[in-house]
Amino acid sequence: MAMWKWLLLAVGLAGCASTHKSPTMAGVSESDVEIVCVYEKQVGSHFSRRICRTKQEMERDRREAAELMDRTRAVEETVTPVE
């Protein structure tokens, strides 16, 4: 049983040591990429988590969140409350 724990630990650590680039970074040289790290609050927790992304990824995430909020507002406006 102890051998399985060590094996799982070794596999888990090997996965964390991956050096491949993310698909969003394909074709972009490392000199063009600036990584920005911020602390974000987790929903349902008092703890913050450090999140590191490129400026392009942060902008994309912000834009997608804004679009989601716009779609949500549009649906809320079309729904009539039941009385």
* pLDDT tens, residue by residue, 3-60: 666 656 666 666 555 444 554 556 666 666 889 999 999 899 999 999 999 999 999 9
Query: Per-residue pLDDT for 66 more than 70?
Result: yes
Q: Is residue 26 part of a domain?
A: no
Q: Is residue 52 part of a domain?
A: yes
User: How far does CA 13 lie from the centroid of its chain?
Assistant: 20
Q: Is residue 12 part of a domain?
A: no
Structure confidence at residue 77 (pLDDT): 79
Q: How many domains does the chain have?
A: 1
HEC states along 37-81?
EEEEECCCCCCEEEEEEEHHHHHHHHHHHHHHHHHHHHHHHHCCC
Q: Which residue has the tokens 């051998």?
A: 3
Structure confidence at residue 61 (pLDDT): 94
Structure confidence at residue 18 (pLDDT): 46
- Give the residue numbers spanning the domain of 81: 34-83
